[in-house]
Amino acid sequence: MRLAAPRLWIPASAVFLAAALLTGALVGPVDLGALNVVHATFAHVFGLHSPLSGADDAILWQLRLPRVVLGALVGGTLAAAGAAYQGVFRNPLADPYLLGAAAGAGLGATLVAAYAPAGGLAGDLLPISAFFGAALAVVAAYALGRSAGAAAGPAALVLAGVTIASFFTALQTFVQQQNVETVQEVYSWLLGRLATSGWREVGIIAPYAAAAWLILLGHRRLLDVLAVGDEEAAALGVNVGRVRLFVVVAATIATAAAVAVSGLIAFVGIIVPHTIRLLVGGSYRLLLPLSVIVGAGFLVFADVIARTIMSPAELPIGVVTAFFGAPFFAVVLHTSKRRV
């Protein structure tokens, strides 16, 4: 089911992303107009005069665009990290949280919710604590997996990730049980949300996302080599352990940054790469760039649904990605005549 020539996929996905960004900027209680939105955005980027009134301009530049851009950064990062994890672990079920990033971030967030002094400080501390929790969990899992020896291969790392995740989840549950009043705050964070205060969150994640995208895209050919197995990759002259380390570090740091600003958004890291695999093929040369672009567009669309479908209330975005993503993926899986 190859739908089009491979070279057409990149421009097609770019159109999808552009449509998502425009939709995200347009949809909301106040009608801004498509032309004005595009015009005003360029005006801000290039320091020109915005055609919108002061209030409308603030809605666009301080509320909608930061949220749209944040969604694109988080979505692209999670999808690319998921694809990369599936590659280095040769495991179709791998997602960016495989090595314990989610459990670590959950513990970090819970600790802040339970013990940090109430008030504005907790809001600032939570992303930082979640970031370090995620990073710590993955470092621990990596060290544990490597201690089993390089010959044990990716399976040892995956098992180490499961071990660390269970342990961190146990700690998190314990802390939560001791501080029952934090359950709601932690729970809503765990379901994922794209809440922004101006461009602050974008600023937090952008450097990590940019670095991770560059590093992962740079490794896309080597991820194809890893697909033939550790030993054959080594026979082709590749230092498999080093490639796996670089890819895991890049994907993990970016995932931790995404988790810090948006909570745990499930499913994007699985569904986006696999949909692309089924439609386009499994070579990472195309899979990784497409995962970034499509993942970005997908999450922006999901966020539009999350904040409009029950307006003015907001659905957790993780619910939307799974609720709409799962049936879509089921259709792709069913109509595809290929094996996953």
* 283, 308, 314, 323: residue in contact with another protein (rule CB under 8 A): 283
Which residues inside 230-269 make contact with another protein, applying CB under 8 A? 231-239
| 281 Cβ contact partners less than 8 Å away, ≥ 6 residues apart | 2, 6, 287
Between 203 and 229, CB nearer to another protein: 229
CB of 231 to another protein, least distance (A): 5
Q: Are 285 and 91 in contact (CB under 8 A)?
A: no
CB of 95 to another protein, least distance (A): 18
> By CB under 8 A, is residue 8 in contact with another protein?
no
> By CB under 8 A, is residue 335 in contact with another protein?
no
> By CB under 8 A, is residue 219 in contact with another protein?
yes
How far is it, in rounded angstroms, from Cα 259 to Cα 264?
A: 6
Which tokens go with 340? 């996953």
* Total residues binding another protein (CB under 8 A): 25
Between 206 and 238, CB nearer to another protein: 238
Q: Which amino acid is at 66?
A: P
CB of 297 to another protein, least distance (A): 23
How far is it, in rounded angstroms, from Cα 99 to Cα 138?
A: 5
Q: Which residue has the tokens 């029950």?
A: 310
> By CB under 8 A, is residue 152 in contact with another protein?
no
> By CB under 8 A, is residue 285 in contact with another protein?
yes
> By CB under 8 A, is residue 49 in contact with another protein?
no
> By CB under 8 A, is residue 91 in contact with another protein?
no
Phi-psi region of 192 (alpha: psi -120 to 50; beta: other; left: phi over 0): left
> By CB under 8 A, is residue 211 in contact with another protein?
no
> By CB under 8 A, is residue 10 in contact with another protein?
no
Which tokens go with 299? 């999450």
Q: Are 61 and 286 in contact (CB under 8 A)?
A: no
> By CB under 8 A, is residue 149 in contact with another protein?
no
How far is it, in rounded angstroms, from Cα 119 to Cα 113?
A: 11
Between 152 and 195, CB nearer to another protein: 152
122-141 footprint of another protein as x/- string (CB under 8 A):
--------------------
How far is it, in rounded angstroms, from Cα 57 to Cα 37?
A: 9
Q: What angle do CA 10, 249, 288 make, to 5 degrees?
A: 10
Q: Which residues bind another protein (CB under 8 A)?
A: 218-219, 221-222, 224-225, 227-229, 231-239, 277, 281-283, 285, 338-339
